[in-house]
Structure 1
Amino acid sequence: MITPASALEPAATPDDSPPAGLPGRLSAEAFGTFFVVVAGLGVPLFTIPQSNPLSASLAAGLAVTAAMLAVGYLSGGHFNPAVTAGHAIAGRIRLADAAAYVGAQLVGALLGAVALFGILRTVPNIADTRTAFDTVAAGFGENSVIQVPLAGVLLLEVLGTALLVAVFLGATSARNPSRLAAPFAVGLTMAVLLQFGQAPGNIPFNPARATASALFSSPDALGQLWLFWVAPLVGAALAGLVYRGFAQGSPAAAVPAAAEEPDEETDEEEAPLDGAGEEPESGAAVPAAAATPAPSAVPAPAEGRTGDDEARDFFDKRGQ
């Protein structure tokens, strides 16, 4: 008697289940942003300069890498409203889901700041927690360490965020053979940018982190918060539009759908990091050729294209 091959396969475990639905993705985004904010603000808040072996910028970059490796396969590992905006403009996430992502990121960031605030309240040598948060809050002019004016900080935020989003979109692209290393590429990029923006004004290149620190800082930091939303969103929009241009103009984009490889990038609802890969939106059948995972990664279920992607439709119509 021949035993069917299916009978020899192990039973499915929770780790073998498909990526989580929207509530699970939002929880992952909230948790990841919480971790990024706790590390990004906590390390400089509790640092003794004379004995600190790890710079705050490197610690924040490592936190991004760790969070992407831990829960990025569920949500895509954005943890940053600017990254989510770049994905929306690039057509890799629906607009409604992008708005939900931003909400979850803000919740996670605020919870991280509340946790740090509670810890600071227990330290006897810190009489004013707002003064402590002022040292890590983003700002320009008088709130900048080297007195960089608004225009300079604006340009740095736009440039840095555009570079960060460009690296994120390129590193997690399904056509990128090195996408398994995306968490490290994004984390190192964030570390370099944070070091670059520290002296000009604690530039975070992350509106959620900027909001978390500003809410617990002096009124001056809160009054300058608008810049750290407008500038990164502009940078993210530039990176998203450039990515769309490259994606639409590449030879792979002209290949008919029937001839596409299983791991080729599609119009995605989300981009979960299955080893820093991407997951197309749900609802289509899995091709037979995609049933066998690639040797180097465990890809998310390969699915077909859809014609109702809200983000692509919106920006395509705007360009007509």
Structure 2
Amino acid sequence: MSTPVSAPVTGGIKPSAARDDSPRPGFVARLSAEALGTLFVVVAGLGVPLFTIPQSNPLPASLAAGLALTAAMLAFGYLSGGHFNPAVTVGNAIAGRIRLTEAAAYLGAQLVGALLGAVTLFAILRTIPKISDSRAAFDTVTAGFGEHSITQAPMAGVLLVEVLGAALLVAVYLGTTSRHNPSRAAAPFAVGLTTAVLLQLGQAIGNDPFNPARATASALFSNVDSLGQLWLFWVAPVVGAALAGLVFRGFAQTAAQLQPAVPNAVPDEDDGEEDAAGARAAAAPAPAQDSRTADGDEARDFFDKRGV
């Protein structure tokens, strides 16, 4: 009676998660996915509160925005990784999961998608006879502090909330999309629900969006005074994203130093991830490496089911 031989595991990947031979999404496809996903997020995030009729809308605006983000991640995340937010892209770049050049292109695509979404909503507002001032309507959903805040929240308070909220949102994204997270299948739902909770908090303070692309889109179509405060809704979320990215970069380096060397493991360089030096030292040279171009991020591995 012959002894069964177990299937070898190569490249540190379990047989159940073996890579397929399907081509990687092209760069234009990834940027298009980011633009389209951001457009959806902005249309839902701004459109629901813009067209809300008091006491007749059963779905809160914050929950609608969170559900839209979940749907966008499920629909387009397999192409681009599902950022749809400059803060998330910055966090991924600092964590070493995406190249800086690609991160810059992602930011441009997100701004294009956000502006297209805002233009669409503005055009719809212009067709409604009862809304005489479309810019005044946008004022109700535009982020601001001081006199532009519903609760007259000062600049310091709004800044702190934006930094904290962006850091938490990016941390949830980085943690749930990590290939080492056994619960990564629930990442779109975790990120969407986190967004909904944070928007519910930010709405009462200064319409904090925790998303610079969305803040830019709404500010451009509101009164001119809103543009003077837009800088805060870029600086604060980027700072929060940077903090989360640095923390997760430290986690990756620590995990790489603690991971024992695997004799036949192939160094994981998928999706443009800038591996930590400790991870490269721990992995032994492989006889062959994946011939596909490495040009995405680790989050897309999650959506592709290509990472572990």
TM-score bracket relative to the smaller structure: 0.7 to 0.9
Deviation string, structure 1 residues 195-253 (Cα, Å, up to 9, x no partner)? 01001100000000000000000111111000000000000000000001111112676
User: Does residue 1:98 correspond to 2:80, yes or no?
Assistant: no
Residue in 1 aligned with 2:245? 240
User: Does residue 1:107 correspond to 2:112, yes or no?
Assistant: yes
In structure 2, distance between residues paired with 1:80 and 1:189: 14
Please tell me whether the aligned partners of residues 93 and 269 of structure 1 are also in contact (alpha carbons under 8 angstroms).
yes
Residue in 2 aligned with 1:269? 272
Please tell me whether the aligned partners of residues 130 and 216 of structure 1 are also in contact (alpha carbons under 8 angstroms).
yes
- Residue 176 of structure 1 deviates from its aligned partner by 0.5
CA gap of 1:301–1:53, structure 2 versus 1, over 3 A, is: closer
CA gap of 1:297–1:208, structure 2 versus 1, over 3 A, is: closer
Please tell me whether the aligned partners of residues 286 and 301 of structure 1 are also in contact (alpha carbons under 8 angstroms).
no
Please tell me whether the aligned partners of residues 109 and 208 of structure 1 are also in contact (alpha carbons under 8 angstroms).
yes
Deviation string, structure 1 residues 134-155 (Cα, Å, up to 9, x no partner)? 0000000001110100000000
Residue in 1 aligned with 2:15? none
Please tell me whether the aligned partners of residues 35 and 112 of structure 2 are also in contact (alpha carbons under 8 angstroms).
yes
How high is the TM-score relative to the length of structure 2? 0.81
User: Does residue 1:148 correspond to 2:161, yes or no?
Assistant: no
In structure 2, distance between residues paired with 1:66 and 1:75: 14
Aligned alpha-carbon RMSD (Å): 2.5
How many residues align? The count is: 267
Q: Which of 245, 256, 269 is 2:261 aligned to?
A: 256
Matches within 5 A, 1:54-93: 54-93=59-98
Deviation string, structure 1 residues 53-112 (Cα, Å, up to 9, x no partner)? 000000000000000000001000000000000000000000000000000000000000
SS at match of 2:92: helix
> Unaligned stretches of 5+ in structure 1?
1-14, 272-282, 288-295, 303-320
How many percent of aligned residue pairs carry the same amino acid?
Answer: 72
Aligned residue identity for 2:128: V
In structure 2, distance between residues paired with 1:28 and 1:235: 24
User: Does residue 1:214 correspond to 2:219, yes or no?
Assistant: yes
SS at match of 2:204: helix
> Unaligned stretches of 5+ in structure 2?
1-19, 275-287, 293-301
In structure 1, distance between residues paired with 2:201 and 2:76: 27
In structure 2, distance between residues paired with 1:99 and 1:181: 27
In structure 2, distance between residues paired with 1:297 and 1:47: 33
